[in-house]
Amino acid sequence: LLVELSIADFVRQNKPSANPEMVKGSKEAIAKLREACLETYNIFFPDALHRNAKVVDTKGPHHNRTGLVRFWDEQKGKFCLGLDTKKKKAGEIVYLKPELLEPIEIAKREKKSNINEQVKERTVTFPDFLDGMSFTTKVSLRELETMKAMVATKDKNDLEKVLDTCLNEMMVERDRIEKKAKELEEYLRRQKEEYLRRQKEEYLRRQ
């Protein structure tokens, strides 16, 4: 989900020349995103390893199953997860992408005192992301949780449509926030110029 969010933000920042397919078609760009998103995920959920987790993958056969995160497989680019079975806890070994896992114990602790200590936002910069273009994106825990909630409650046949709708709404909101920030910056710039102009006039008047 973090990868999809980052791709959507790259397209937003570089429209109309960019599209999701050009990013997904670059193995190097996707590898950079996955590495950065994994690091971000570990920052958001520092105790995710060796913790109970739930699978959030409506397209896959393991959706809503729980198990124990064992280790990170660098070659596969996935976590090794021991899924619980009727016969044994963490008995079925599978490898899943980090965005498909939701830490169970972290979610419980967030509702208690540690929620204010958790990192809620991170900015990631790629100096040479795709075709020489640099890329800076901001990822928030709130957006990730929103996407997780929407994906977890939808049928797999509607997943792609729901995810696209969710991402589009988030990008519209980012555009709105950036526009407001630029308007405020411009307003402050004009205020500063006006102040300096008046100061100069006052100085000249006193001469």
| pTM of the predicted structure, to 2 decimals | 0.56
Checking if the pLDDT of 80 tops 70, the result is yes
Residues 101, 152 contacting (CB under 8 angstroms): no
DSSP assignment string, 21-67: HHHHT-HHHHHHHHHHHHHHHHHHSTT-TTSEEEE--TTSTTTT-EE
Burial of 29 (C-beta count, 10 Å sphere; 0-12/13-18/19+):
buried
Can you tell me the distance from the alpha carbon of 125 to that of 177, in angstroms, rounded to the nearest whole number?
Answer: 19
For range 114-129, the mean pLDDT: 75
User: Of 7, 103, 91, 118, whose CA–CA distance to 55 is shortest?
Assistant: 103
- Average model confidence (pLDDT) for the chain? 82
Where does the pLDDT of residue 99 fall: very low under 50, low under 70, confident under 90, or very high at 90 and above? confident
Can you tell me the distance from the alpha carbon of 70 to that of 78, in angstroms, rounded to the nearest whole number?
Answer: 11
The CATH classification number of 2-156 equals 2.30.30.30
As given in the structure block, the two tokens for residue 25 are 């078609």
Q: Return the pLDDT at 47.
A: 61
For range 73-98, the mean pLDDT: 85
As given in the structure block, the two tokens for residue 133 are 């273009």
- 108 or 122: which carries more pLDDT confidence? 122
Question: How do the domains of the chain map onto residue ranges?
Answer: 2-156
Checking if the pLDDT of 54 tops 60, the result is yes
Checking if the pLDDT of 42 tops 90, the result is no
| 124: helix, strand or coil | strand
Where does the pLDDT of residue 110 fall: very low under 50, low under 70, confident under 90, or very high at 90 and above? very low
The string of pLDDT tens digits covering residues 143-186 is 888 887 777 766 666 777 778 888 888 889 989 988 999 999 99
